[in-house]
Amino acid sequence: MSPITAKDVKDLRDKTGLGMMDCKKALVETNGNFEEAIDYLRKKGVSKGAARQGRATGEGVIDAYIHPGSKVGILIEVGCETDFVARSDEFVDLVHNLAMQVAAAKPTYVSREDVPEDIIEHEKEIYREQLAAENKPAQIIEKISQGKLDKFFKENCLIEQLYIKDTNQTVSEVVLTIAGKFKENIQVRRFASYILGE
């Protein structure tokens, strides 16, 4: 293993936005492997962001995205704790990228908690009928139905979708990583899609 230099630590800090000590520790833990260190810090950043999820988000940004051709428009609101973070380029870029995510991936809800219970029951009923028609044993129908419901959430809930700019992460992981960098709670509050003629 080659020795970890101050330049290595600085390069990792510049790329991730996390503290010098965190970056040094990540490089030590991953034997100086830069890509593994980024993954290590991403996981750490996600856990830091998750710890802040209960805090109030009184500030934030509303962004509008109009897709080229002017046939799809998105309004999105993302909250944070301070005006300082709301005005930062990284936060503004996040909100704009999330608006583009909504335009591209067409989610219906922000999170699974927003999906009405009657929609969930309707989906489950469809899955049960499909599986019964395939002569699946009764004891595994519920388990398979739950798996199909999880897939429904991943397709229809913004924060559970794969992030279009990096499909190795979900939207939630991206938001939590940035929340970890800023040491603030960041929450996608709502969005609205406007499609010409609909």
Which residues are CB-neighbours of 50 under 8 A, at least 6 positions away? 176
- Using 70 as the pLDDT threshold, list the residues of the chain that sit under it: 1-2, 14-20, 42, 44-57
Alpha-helical (H) ranges within the chain are 6-16, 20-29, 34-51, 83-86, 89-105, 117-133, 138-156, 171-182
pLDDT digits (tens, 9 = 90+) for 54-79: 666 678 999 999 999 999 999 999 99
pLDDT digits (tens, 9 = 90+) for 17-49: 566 677 788 888 888 888 888 777 767 665 555
pLDDT of residue 1: 52
pLDDT of residue 56: 65
Q: What is the DSSP string of 60-99?
A: EEEEEEE-TTSSEEEEEEEEES-HHHHTSHHHHHHHHHHH
pLDDT of residue 4: 85
Q: Which structural domains are found in the chain, ordered by start? A: 6-51 (1.10.8.10), 59-110+157-195 (3.30.479.20), 116-155 (1.10.286.20)
